[in-house]
Amino acid sequence: MQKVTRITDRSPGIVKLELSSGVRTLALDVGGTGVKAAILDENGNMIVNEVRTLTPHPCPPEVLLQLIDDLIAPFPSFDRVSVGFPGMVRDGCVITAPNLGTRPWHRFPLVAALSKRFDKPVRLLNDAEVQGLGVVSGHGLEFVVTLGTGMGTALFLEGRLAPHLELGHHPIRGKKTYDEYIGDKARHHCGKRRWSRRVVKALETLRALINYDVVYLGGGNAARLKGDLPKNSRIVDNAAGLTGGIRLWDHPTPVVEPSRRRHPPPCSSLTSPTPASPDRAPPASADTSARPSTGASS
């Protein structure tokens, strides 16, 4: 493939790079506050710096698709697409999107739409789970919490992605859910220090529930935490929400190959998952084949 060079600058999409000849993955991290994109080499390293734009509201499917087109317009070519999405996804379709507006997104075939748009194979997973794939060690019970517009979660046992629980929408104090208690609106209302104490309380509650060995704190607000955190807590680079996308190609997740699946099953057929064959055998630490669906985060 061709070599591409650009002027180095801090402006979005302006980087200096030399593209490798390996497989290139467009990684998309869709959030309730912002949408990010980057291009990864076959080892998951960024070969085009991430670009970011604010998520518009409302943000129905056609708005997000056009936003992605505009965001990646300066990018060089790529071979496949990985997407982290802030909601419950199953068989390439969106089930819920609480911070984008669930009604227009319900059962929207996002994998098929992007595959048709780019004529590339596409894989989709919940955004907190993509972040987890980028940071977990594959040892013990590892928990991922993303702090952004709301609270997203993912759970891994010996590197295997567990069934998702929509913990962000569960109550933690009175009628307040985790999303309401430690989400971005709460941070602005309470201030960093009080909000940070709330996060610590939430982590203590979640540890009593899950008894995890380690918790990774990601998302845009993790770096804003103040004070001491539980000793088994680690703040991780939020870039893992993009770089973790390379792991979607390690194991069988829903995928549309443009040359073979022009007409995937309708999203109404959500009870009969038919994942495509993986490009290569999954490593033991990343096998999610026993888990037919993913969950939600916000």
Mean pLDDT of the chain: 83
Domain boundaries, the chain: 25-129+247-286, 137-236
d(CA 280, CA 177): 40
The 10s digit of each residue's pLDDT in 40-57 is 999 999 999 999 999 999
152 DSSP β-pair partners: 146
Longest CA–CA separation in the chain, Å: 58
Percent of the chain having pLDDT more than 90?
72
d(CA 139, CA 233): 15
Model confidence, pTM: 0.80
Query: Has residue 247 got a pLDDT over 80?
Result: yes
Query: Has residue 135 got a pLDDT over 60?
Result: yes
pLDDT at 19: 56
Helix (H, G, I), strand (E, B) or coil at 173: strand
For residue 166, what pLDDT band results from cuts at 50, 70 and 90? confident
Q: Which residues contact 243 (CB under 8 A, 6 or more apart)?
A: 27, 38, 40, 44, 45, 46, 134
Find where tokens 């939600």 sit: 296
The count of other CB atoms within 10 Å of the CB of residue 167 is 25
Tell me, which fold does domain 25-129+247-286 have in CATH? Nucleotidyltransferase; domain 5 (3.30.420)
Q: Is it true that domain 137-236 has CATH number 3.40.50.300?
A: no
Note whether 25-129+247-286 and 137-236 share their fold: yes
63: part of which helix (H) or strand (E)? helix 61-71
For residue 14, what pLDDT band results from cuts at 50, 70 and 90? very low
